[in-house]
Amino acid sequence: MHVLFVIDPLPRLKAYKDSSVAMMRALVARGHTLSVAMQGDLFIDAGVVQARATGIELVADADLHGHHWWRDTGAAQDVPLSRFGAVLMRKDPPFDMEYVYSTHMLEYAQAQGARVFNDAAAIRNHPEKLAITEFAELAAPTLVTRDMARIKAFHAHHQDVIVKPLDGMGGTGIFRLQAAEPNLNAILETLTEDGTRTIMAQRYIPEIVQGDKRILLIGGEAVPYSLARIPLAGETRGNLAAGGRGVAQPLSERDREIAAIVAPRLAARGLLLVGLDVIGDYVTEVNVTSPTCFVEIAEQTGFDVAGMFAQALERAAA
């Protein structure tokens, strides 16, 4: 199978811990070939969705901390997406209008026979923070609004809340507002841009000190281990990008219960790979753009997450 990765520029990837690179390595080990394209390489000509794609091969025994872990196998060529065995959308956020346009092009490509994962419309229709509202019974009390008066009332009721932008990643823009927050007005004015930008508020979940768990769902099944991203002392964000420490651990009974509810529903929509963020007993995000943590879980437990993904992709693209 020839697999196209729509991805960020390869030199920017930290190959030693990047989940997309782990996918590539697992696919190559199973005899598949690879090409890559950037988001800007997607185009439509005469109604046909194509990509300016470059074939690559992985360098055996390469130092994954360096920049020479792959090599091009030839010049870039314009190729209809329908000619690939699978197209993996692994472009990282921001989820801006360019990203939306890309999902539209990928959706048109699917109508032309391309096999795109995750499904383009499903990615577009599952904003990662808002998506938890579909599973309200699994989430902590949550408010989504741009109305500062409503947010203040929510804060007054729960006393300890987290507020965050809907389009942030890696823990950016997240604030904890405790009962006596002297900068409440300034924080809300900044996040909502004076009431013109919608944000999310959630009741603070104290179990964050035990980690913000990433649970991976692949092909409708849960990886049996999560990665608990434990915040630095004095931090409220467990994101690895914010300095959190990742500790792999077996799924708890509650984790499995959550996965059993969420996984089949999302898999039925063409979401082959989903990353649930779970704090304590509550789902806090449903990540569908480019979920990560493959390498950390594999290194600490020996479970071949990328291999599980490769097998699921083979089944889905057959």
With CA atoms as reference, report the closest residue to 25 among 52, 51, 5: 5
The enclosing H or E element of 228 equals: strand 225-230
Q: What is the CATH number of the domain that holds 159?
A: 3.30.1490.20
Cα separation of 200 and 220, whole Å? 27
Task: Specify if 130 maps to a domain.
Answer: no
With CA atoms as reference, report the closest residue to 235 among 174, 318, 148: 174
Please report the pLDDT score of residue 93 as a whole number. 82
The enclosing H or E element of 261 equals: helix 253-267
Hey, is 248 helix, strand or coil? strand
Question: Are 165 and 147 contained in the same domain?
Answer: yes
Q: What is the CATH number of the domain that holds 221?
A: 3.30.470.20
- Asked if residue 90 lies in contact with residue 5, where contact means CB atoms within 8 angstroms, the answer is yes
Hey, is 93 helix, strand or coil? coil
Question: Are 54 and 115 contained in the same domain?
Answer: yes
**Structural domain count, the chain:** 3
Task: Specify if 315 maps to a domain.
Answer: no
The average confidence (pLDDT) of the chain is 94
Catalytic residue among 129, 203, 212, 213: 129
Please report the pLDDT score of residue 10 as a whole number. 96
Query: Is 92 considered catalytic here?
Result: no
Catalytic residue among 91, 115, 203, 229: 229
Cβ–Cβ contacts within 10 Å for residue 66, how many?
Answer: 10
Question: Are 40 and 21 contained in the same domain?
Answer: yes
Task: Choose one of 204, 223, 242: the last residue of a domain.
Answer: 204
Cα separation of 307 and 96, whole Å? 31
Task: Choose one of 87, 121, 155: the last residue of a domain.
Answer: 121
Task: Specify if 281 maps to a domain.
Answer: yes
Question: Are 192 and 241 contained in the same domain?
Answer: no
Q: What is the pLDDT along the chain (318 residues), one digit of tens a residue?
A: 999 999 999 999 999 999 999 999 999 999 999 999 999 999 999 999 999 999 999 999 999 998 899 999 999 999 999 999 999 999 988 888 999 999 999 999 999 999 999 999 999 999 889 999 999 999 999 999 999 999 999 999 999 999 999 987 777 889 999 999 999 999 999 999 999 999 999 999 999 999 999 999 999 999 999 999 998 765 665 566 656 789 999 999 999 999 999 999 999 999 999 999 999 999 999 999 999 999 999 999 999 999 999 999 999 999
Task: Specify if 298 maps to a domain.
Answer: yes
CA 27, 28, 29 angle in degrees (round to 5)? 90
Question: Are 99 and 167 contained in the same domain?
Answer: no
Task: Choose one of 204, 233, 255: the last residue of a domain.
Answer: 204
How much is the pTM? 0.92
Q: What is the CATH number of the domain that holds 21?
A: 3.40.50.20
Question: Are 115 and 8 contained in the same domain?
Answer: yes
Query: Is 164 considered catalytic here?
Result: yes
Question: Are 233 and 187 contained in the same domain?
Answer: no
| Identity of the amino acid at 66 | G
Print the domain residue range for 151. Answer: 141-204
Question: Are 107 and 14 contained in the same domain?
Answer: yes
Residue 67 phi, psi dihedral angles, 5° rounding? -115, 20
Catalytic residue among 107, 119, 255, 277: 277
Question: Are 18 and 107 contained in the same domain?
Answer: yes
Question: Are 177 and 214 contained in the same domain?
Answer: no
Q: Which DSSP state fits 206? A: G
Catalytic residue among 237, 239, 255, 296: 237
Question: Are 200 and 215 contained in the same domain?
Answer: no
Query: Is 229 considered catalytic here?
Result: yes
Please report the pLDDT score of residue 245 as a whole number. 87
Question: Are 58 and 106 contained in the same domain?
Answer: yes
Percent of the chain surpassing pLDDT 70 = 97
Catalytic residue among 90, 91, 115, 164: 164
Task: Specify if 87 maps to a domain.
Answer: yes
